[in-house]
Structure 1
Amino acid sequence: MMSRWRRAAFVTACVLLAAMVGVSGAAHAQDGRWRITKERWEPSDEKAWQDFVAALGAADCWTFDECIKSPANPYRHTDPKTRFYVDCADMPYVLRAYFAWKNGLPFAWQSAMRAADGEKGDIRYSPYGNVIIARDSVPRTANGVPAIPVLHTLVNVVSTAMFRRNSMADDPVMFADTYSPRLTRDAIVPGTITYDVNGHASLVWRVESGGRILIFSSHPDHSLSRSHLGKEFLRTGPELGSIFQKFRPIEVVGATRAPNGALVGGRIVAASNNEIPDFSLEQYHGNPPGDPVRWASSSWVHNDENLDFYTYLRSRLSAGELEYRPVEELRAMMQSICFDVRSRKQAVDISIARGIQNMDPPPRLPDNIYGTHGVWELYSTPSRDARLKTAFKEMYDLVVEFIKMDMVDAPRLNYDGDDLAGDLLAAYWEQNAACSISYVNSAGTTVQLSLDHIIDRLYDLSFDPYQCVERRWGAKGEELATCRDGPLKTRWYEAQRYLRNQIDRTYDVDMGYTIEDLERGPWGLRTGRGVEAGPEVDVRAYLEGLTSRRTASGAIANPPATP
């Protein structure tokens, strides 16, 4: 049982959720007990872990529970009757523990943390990271221990505070559960954790041949999202632990083996940083290696070319030399965004099904809309929406860059056509048609949307769960007519416009404002009231402008496909 002080310290990164894992009385002990039969995680176990995560990431499932019960999980038939509810921080730990349980492997975890500077406050966002002050592990007994309560414990203990610790630390007793890996294809593999210091964690499930990193994560409302790693994952110093982490190798020493093969007693020992083949501080010290503490001034050189960190990362993870196939890149980005929007739909649908839109809004916003608790944490979408906006902006910026590269015949651009803007626009409409999105309005009628609609209304999508479904999807005009929000909620919606314009998540800024506070301003990134305008994201308008000018100049242009 966790003490009162420790339970208070571990409000989870997305929200602390009760595991609510029920075990059927008919479940046999053989199915539900965790017997440790292996002393250590062998390379074959790590490879099986990678395959396990890759299969779940590729599965057509939209909650953690669905994924665990899907055909992608080869162990599903051995489970007791359970339901799994996890958030973003829990998922890497619970999946790793689940896999260890099914394979008789040892498992240990950080069970208590404190801020490195000793200050009180929310250790999910501590400015100097955290230090580990307690550890726990699965007991090693001949009969094993019930596995489900262990998973329950992890859900109630783990938070993104676990990932927010110094990657340079190497304590043999209070060792970190994870370590910093090299930035290579054989190190950044399925099962690698990606940690966003703004309070989010995901798992890598595939690295494409072109170096794009596909990730998936769970959320406080239990929905699952899939995307690719982009600039929304901020690179920071080693004291905060971003971006990449992998589970540290552990082994049981000093145990005896029972007649049934189970290990009994002993203790958990972890590999030190210098004993791990793919340990590296590359993501902090840069290439050529510099001082990881001076991470902000790191340089990134690959094949004698100076790059920014994110281009360097793709170059390092590409199966060959990094080259951009612009039309294929646009298709892939739109497919990823389509996943994000469909995941958002799951979140909004859950909120609407719970009737949150029928409740009266509180008189103030939470102290911080991106990291809080209760109804807002469970059913609002400001963080998810900010990541979605960042994905649209990243797509826009990359398309602009492709056009510039084409103009100078850049060697990294692999394109043989004579109308890049036209070909990109045709691919845009193709992917737009392939991504169908819909919601049921307040009158019970289905409203069809597309990615093109989402771009047009991106800064109108309401993150506020107390508002009608029409406003959650940025409706205007006739589409908004079925909304049942009264004057108060309408006023809240208008007052939140500047917050909707903001794509940067400011977790360290006070945002507990009233409507009057929001309306009166001032506005700016550090005010907590939002910004006056969001960045340009309309890639379709940009490409249409280019093709129109090309046609007007008398050049031959490929006509874009009609939507």
Structure 2
Amino acid sequence: MSTPRSIRLLIPSLAIVGLSLLGAVLPDTARAADACREGKEVRIWTAPLQPSPGAPLEIIAVATDADLDEVLITDPAGRQTSLRTAHGGGPPWSLYGTQFRPVAGIYRIETTRAGRVAGCAEVRVGGRDRTQGSKRGSGEWDLATEAFYSAWIEHLFEAPPEQLLSFDSLGPVLRDPARNLLFNYLGNGEDHSLPAEPDCADLPYFLRTYFAWKLGLPVAYRPCTRGSRSSAPTCQAPVAETRFVGASMDQGASAEVFREASRSMMNTVHSGSARTALRDDATDFYPVALDRSTLWPGTIFADPYGHIMVIVKWLPQRGRESGLLLAVDAQPDNSVTRKRFWEGTFLFAQTPSAGPGFKAFRPVVQTGSGVRQMPNNAIDGRSGLPPFSLEQAALSPADFYARMQRLVNPRGLEPEVAYTATLDALMEQLETRVTSVENGEAYVRSRPGITIPMPSGPAIFETTGPWEDYATPSRDMRLLIAMKVLADLPERIRRYPELFVLQGRSPSDAAARIERMNAQRMGERFITYTRSDGTPWRLSLGEIFSRRAELEMAYNPNDCVERRWGASPGSPDESTCRRRAPADQRARMEEYRPWFREAVRPPR
């Protein structure tokens, strides 16, 4: 990482503009013993692999057993100082900071807890240290490496919780040295022209493969079926990628090797890869318990229909403010967006065609004959990694969401706070749809006269080509579900009052208060989209709710943007519409309308 960084982090209640060393010399009580040892639960990682004098040295201490207090640095002259750090997690917990302008020589880095050294590492700055490859870790997906992967994911998508974090693709994220702790880690300029455009199913695999490339780790993935209406997808023997392992330990595998490996992976995995049955051993992922100690950043959520989210951060409940569980997903147009956990984005249902829920990557271990993925009965928690669990298999959707609500907000929420959080999540979803619809408009405008072919039946949700990239049937079904969640919140308060902090009010009174709030907010919240003639048009949330029926048929990119936002003949914004989907496509959309009205995906 030879490029200086401008760190842009906001940890709750602590804004960090830049990371630098504090000048105070620390007392002897905080100094380490002479031996500098790594622990199983605490590990200090540095980047780049071969640090250079004068270039920033990135430092991250990661722990799986408890929080850490600070990071101490002893320079080659023996001066010890405290590093100003950003805090992440946990678990795992992390402290991240930058040593600017290091000089040549050996630096000793220690992290402390309650005045005692919890972990220690030494790194040489300057010269070509052939032993520096050991700083990449054990070469195994052990506890320390998995914890670093989790901390890396968390930092990669760090931003204030109120910020709508969205990117055209994963590329800008990985090429941002302020986000990517592994940017130019191998020192070969390997990230500058790296293609990084995974879609929904590819995203967790791409992130995992990228991390493995930088740290010299094996990866494995399986070719899988897509399942049927009566059975979940099943998978074949894993494909093992071992070219990163042991490749020039001081330089790593080349960018071309990564391109080939990631291309092969993306040509193999698909939306069925994460929907495998929860009890199945022959899978890339295994289910975990619904507990804060097991849902690390990097854990995925697979919904019953093939959409995948990747957990990136937990924000604890503070005072009257709602806690947050944040995740990212990728879309067929390759855009990557951060979203909060709620019923409108994390769809959960028990169905014979899928094994939905939160899952972790199945550990990959090296054997004498190659690599293998660990079976369920071997993932028992003794290694420190989240153990295999079938808890989610026994949960109804109502029980699942209630369980998650207690995790995110263990003290419960006042109904008004719960309503505001739900409303904000819905508006976030609508703003994301603005971008997706505009992407489709840009594609069609650049190809005058084009008609994008529309698949038939359930294939409208799963296909390839421009329809997959620019149609929005899955997104729109989730949006309709999200709108229903907001509208049904008063009834939820009446039926499940134990989930809310009512402060002496009756459930009926609290629900009536939310109904009044909702009626008021309908005229106060807006989105703005660009019409066919280039003029902006503002829609209130109330107008969008009044167009729910039209939004059941608003996913076709062959329709004008006005129709995509539910405009009908005679509505003010429809006057600039210049394009309609072909009649045969409109007829099929009418036939499929009940799927969207009832918010139920059809079986394959």
TM range (shorter): 0.5 to 0.7
Counterpart for residue 441 of structure 1: 531
Q: Distance in 1 between matches of 2:583 and 2:576?
A: 13
Residue in structure 1 matching 2:589, options 493, 496, 502: 496
Q: Distance in 2 between matches of 1:40 and 1:491?
A: 55
Counterpart for residue 46 of structure 2: none
Q: CA deviation digits over 1:50-87, x for unaligned, max 9?
A: 23323344442333233333433223355232231111
Q: Distance in 2 between matches of 1:75 and 1:429?
A: 48
Counterpart for residue 266 of structure 2: 155
Q: CA separation of 1:49/1:125 partners in 2, compared to 1, >3 Å: closer, same or farther? A: farther
Bigger shift: 429-438 or 371-380? 429-438
Q: Distance in 2 between matches of 1:221 and 1:68?
A: 18
CA offset at residue 208 of structure 1? 5.0
Q: CA deviation digits over 1:151-184, x for unaligned, max 9?
A: 22222222122223333234xxxx5322111121
Counterpart for residue 215 of structure 1: 327
The alignment status of 1:413 with 2:500, answered yes or no, reads yes
Contact 1:206/1:215 (8 A) holds in 2:
yes
Give ranges in structure 1 of 5+ residues lacking alignment.
1-29, 116-121, 255-265, 287-297, 301-306, 510-563
Q: Which amino acid aligns with 1:202?
A: M
Counterpart for residue 548 of structure 2: 458
The alignment status of 1:268 with 2:376, answered yes or no, reads no
Counterpart for residue 34 of structure 2: none
Q: CA separation of 1:46/1:434 partners in 2, compared to 1, >3 Å: closer, same or farther? A: farther
The alignment status of 1:230 with 2:319, answered yes or no, reads no
Paired residues for 1:119-158 under 5 Å: 122-123=226-227, 127-139=231-243, 140-143=245-248, 144-146=252-254, 147-158=258-269
Q: CA separation of 1:125/1:420 partners in 2, compared to 1, >3 Å: closer, same or farther? A: same
TM-score normalized by structure 1?
A: 0.67
Q: CA separation of 1:446/1:81 partners in 2, compared to 1, >3 Å: closer, same or farther? A: same
Counterpart for residue 175 of structure 2: 69
Counterpart for residue 196 of structure 1: 303
Residue in structure 1 matching 2:473, options 377, 382, 391: 382
Q: Distance in 1 between matches of 2:462 and 2:504?
A: 47
The alignment status of 1:401 with 2:492, answered yes or no, reads yes
The alignment status of 1:391 with 2:482, answered yes or no, reads yes
Q: CA separation of 1:81/1:347 partners in 2, compared to 1, >3 Å: closer, same or farther? A: same
Q: CA separation of 1:495/1:269 partners in 2, compared to 1, >3 Å: closer, same or farther? A: closer
Q: Distance in 1 between matches of 2:268 and 2:396?
A: 37
Instruction: Give the RMSD, CA atoms, in angstroms.
Output: 3.5
Q: Distance in 2 between matches of 1:373 and 1:446?
A: 31
Contact 2:279/2:390 (8 A) holds in 1:
no
Residue in structure 1 matching 2:563, options 458, 471, 487: 471
Q: CA separation of 1:182/1:142 partners in 2, compared to 1, >3 Å: closer, same or farther? A: same
Counterpart for residue 218 of structure 2: 107
Contact 2:414/2:501 (8 A) holds in 1:
yes
Q: Distance in 1 between matches of 2:278 and 2:577?
A: 49
Residue in structure 1 matching 2:603, options 508, 513, 528: 508
Counterpart for residue 285 of structure 2: 178
For 1:112, what is the secondary structure of its paired residue?
coil
Q: Distance in 1 between matches of 2:396 and 2:535?
A: 54
Counterpart for residue 152 of structure 2: 52
Q: CA separation of 1:112/1:493 partners in 2, compared to 1, >3 Å: closer, same or farther? A: closer
Q: Distance in 1 between matches of 2:485 and 2:351?
A: 23
Q: Distance in 1 between matches of 2:548 and 2:144?
A: 45
Counterpart for residue 480 of structure 1: 574
CA offset at residue 299 of structure 1? 7.8
Contact 1:212/1:314 (8 A) holds in 2:
no
The alignment status of 1:39 with 2:135, answered yes or no, reads no
Bigger shift: 90-99 or 41-50? 41-50
Paired residues for 1:270-419 under 5 Å: 270-276=373-379, 277=381, 278-286=386-394, 308-315=399-406, 317-318=407-408, 320=410, 323-355=412-444, 358-359=448-449, 361=451, 365-367=455-457, 368-403=459-494, 410-416=497-503
Q: Which amino acid aligns with 1:130?
A: T
Q: CA separation of 1:177/1:363 partners in 2, compared to 1, >3 Å: closer, same or farther? A: closer
> Greater helix share, 1 or 2?
1
Paired residues for 1:20-31 under 5 Å: none
Q: CA deviation digits over 1:332-356, x for unaligned, max 9?
A: 1121122211211111111111126
Q: CA separation of 1:237/1:467 partners in 2, compared to 1, >3 Å: closer, same or farther? A: closer
Q: Which amino acid aligns with 2:589?
A: Q
CA offset at residue 438 of structure 1? 1.5
Counterpart for residue 528 of structure 1: none
Q: Distance in 1 between matches of 2:520 and 2:327?
A: 24
Q: Distance in 1 between matches of 2:522 and 2:148?
A: 36
For 1:308, what is the secondary structure of its paired residue?
helix
Contact 1:359/1:466 (8 A) holds in 2:
no
For 2:205, what is the secondary structure of its paired residue?
helix
Aligned length: 430
CA offset at residue 195 of structure 1? 0.8
Q: Distance in 1 between matches of 2:353 and 2:588?
A: 37
Contact 1:180/1:244 (8 A) holds in 2:
yes
Counterpart for residue 71 of structure 2: none
Q: CA separation of 1:448/1:270 partners in 2, compared to 1, >3 Å: closer, same or farther? A: same
For 1:355, what is the secondary structure of its paired residue?
helix
For 1:206, what is the secondary structure of its paired residue?
strand
Contact 2:350/2:396 (8 A) holds in 1:
no
Contact 1:238/1:284 (8 A) holds in 2:
no
Structure 1 runs (4+) deviating above 6 angstroms are 429-434
Bigger shift: 214-223 or 137-146? 137-146
Contact 2:222/2:283 (8 A) holds in 1:
no
Q: CA deviation digits over 1:467-507, x for unaligned, max 9?
A: 11111111242210011126x64785587356456333434
TM-score normalized by structure 2?
A: 0.63
Q: Which amino acid aligns with 1:282?
A: L
